[in-house]
Structure 1
């Protein structure tokens, strides 16, 4: 007998659109024009700390152009403050009513500047919270300080635990 996870606890997807401009990774400024594209946020409870952002140029056709996986907490933070490492592949910048997402594709030497409505980011996060609430991450995350303390105690006992 195979156990199955109820649909409410399975992967979630949120579809929306955004506007994207593209430039070489070495360019410092994005081109002035952008095009409307379909986007998708994916969440899989098997990776409760991550979210995947999928870009597709064919709006509604489901064709995958590129995808980036990053911390769900970073997506949440990016609604109200800049988030992501300066040299990272994903950076988020809050704007009035929207979130700008700077995405690096190092393999192809391209950067994408995606503008998404803040309401879509909020709706995606709300959908994912139905599976694993963002606030629960602290309770399911490994406690590295506790693990380190336990390891130190084991070593102090000569490994006799």
Structure 2
């Protein structure tokens, strides 16, 4: 049985206008995908009006809480002493959110209780993943 870790938190969505909207987001960690975390946004917070979810490295989230990290679609950096900035880069543009660093650290601690850092490979099901990849190859 897999223990999925979910944590709701408030994020401040930074817009080009000088205001910041607060949106509820959910951080999610599933040991079945041990290297990744997911951040889900509700439909009202997206341009398309549909729920959006971004997956990125758990290590990236941890590194970005302490120092700028990431060079691709997801970039994370500290902001002041109590905020972490997460940038999502897409063809449509860039979304920037601020979350409380204490909440990020609490989420990461909870995930490490389930899958310690450096032990992610122990939670991979390579046979299942290979079968999934090959099932459409017939």
TM-score, structure 2 length as denominator?
Answer: 0.76
Closer, same or farther: CA 77–119 of 1 in aligned 2, 3 Å: same
Match in the other structure for 1:89: 73
Which of 83, 86, 89 is 1:98 aligned to?
Answer: 83
Partner of 1:71: 57
- Separation in 2, partners of 1:64, 1:127: 28
Cα displacement (A) at 1:58: 5.5
The residue matched to 2:66 in structure 1 has which SS? coil
How many angstroms does 1:16 deviate by?
0.6
**Match of residue 129 from structure 1:** 112
Output the aligned Cα RMSD. Answer: 2.4
Deviation at 1:54, TM superposition (A): 1.1
Equivalent pairs counted in the alignment come to 120
Query: Which of the residues 20, 37, 41 maps onto 1:34?
Result: 20
State the secondary structure of the residue aligned to 1:111.
strand
User: What does 1:3-82 align with in structure 2 at a 5 Å threshold?
Assistant: 5=1, 9-22=2-15, 30-56=16-42, 65-82=51-68
Residues of 2 paired with 1:113 and 1:66: CA distance? 14
Q: 1:134 to 1:44 in 2, by over 3 A?
A: same
Q: Which has the larger radius of gyration?
A: 1
Task: State the secondary structure of the residue aligned to 1:125.
Answer: helix
The equivalent residue for 1:110 is 93
CA distance in 1 between counterparts of 2:68 and 2:26 reads 21
CA distance in 2, matches of 1:64, 1:48: 26
- Which consecutive aligned stretches of 4+ in structure 1 deviate over 6 angstroms post-superposition? none
Distance 1:38 1:64 in 2: 14
Structure 1: gaps spanning 5 or more residues:
23-29, 143-161
| Displacement after TM superposition at 1:141 (Å) | 9.3
